[in-house]
Structure 1
Amino acid sequence: MKVRDVMTSQVESVTPSSSIVDIARLMRSSNVGSIPVCEGNKVLGIITDRDIVLKVIADGKNIQSTSAKDIMNSEVITVTSDQDVHEAARIMAEYQIRRLPVTEQGKIIGIVALGDLATEKIHVNEAGDALSGISQGAHH
């Protein structure tokens, strides 16, 4: 099974100039913990709810004047739609991430989440291993 078979095509994204408040609200309304930062369809970075807590709130930055470009992680791990879901699960476990932007020629076309893999019965073990790896990483 390929990533395209389980990915979400409707991707919420923000721009480098998006405010942290707007990003947090988008995360809440979309019920997600990470959002890609894009210029057009090109992925420039990713912001997680943890980034907002650690890089803005804990550092005492002004939430009104801090923007996506100030805190985004620009080393984004991505997959392509024709990669196997087993490979996506392995990448999630290795990098301890729950969501991977899906790109084609540098442009975002979707997102694959750990939950997308877990819903496929044949991939529950790998998704479980990925989640286990992610959870263990959080305790270090």
Structure 2
Amino acid sequence: MPQHVRDIMTGAPVTVGPYTSVAEVARVMRDRDLGSVLVTDGDRLRGLVTDRDLVVRSVARGGDPEETTVADACSEDLVTVGPDDDLDRAVRLMREHAVRRVPVVEDGHPVGILSLGDAAMERDPDSALGDISVARPNT
């Protein structure tokens, strides 16, 4: 039986506005134990920012994290899926576009995130990626 994205996605994604400082986004990620958040303008998806994006696109460029906005650090050319899309299609898109996280969008509004770890846990929970995906973070 085909499985749908909604069956394994992380719902109720954490979002920030495009003018939120990089420092604030980093604090949100730390406090919520997240590796990525969605950037929204109103209730419309504008981008996705990862912890790596914050480092590479902001900190490494010498920007002041309190003054630089997340709009300068997020990926805006996103691959998205719908909650009713087939999981196989979502995994294929992740592979084709070499992305680890895909926003789940319904009627233009973000409703979740599907991660490579989510897919790995569903497909092969005993794999190394599955193990890593459920492991507690190193702090």
What's the TM-score, normalizing by structure 2?
0.82
Shift of 1:128: 8.2
In structure 2, the residue matched to 1:124 is: 124
1:97-128 alpha-carbon deviations (Å, 9 max, x no partner)? 221110011111111111221222xx239x98
Return closer, same or farther for 1:74/1:100 CA change in 2, 3 Å cut-off: same
In structure 2, the residue matched to 1:87 is: 89
In structure 2, the residue matched to 1:109 is: 111
1:25-76 alpha-carbon deviations (Å, 9 max, x no partner)? 1112222222110023210111111211111111111111001112222111
Provide the rounded CA distance (Å) in 2 between the counterparts of 1:25 and 1:4: 28
In structure 2, the residue matched to 1:6 is: 8
Give 2:101's aligned amino acid. Answer: R
Provide the rounded CA distance (Å) in 1 between the counterparts of 2:32 and 2:99: 18
Shift of 1:86: 1.1
Q: How does 1:1-140 map to 2 (within 5 A)?
A: 1-120=3-122, 123-124=123-124
RMSD: 2.0
Provide the rounded CA distance (Å) in 1 between the counterparts of 2:21 and 2:63: 12
Moved over 3 A (4+): none
Task: Please state which structure has a larger fraction of its residues in helix.
Answer: 1
Give 1:118's aligned amino acid. Answer: A
Q: Is the 8 A contact 1:118 1:128 kept in 2?
A: no
What's the TM-score, normalizing by structure 1?
0.81
Q: Percent identity?
A: 37
| Aligned partner of residue 78 in structure 2, secondary structure | coil
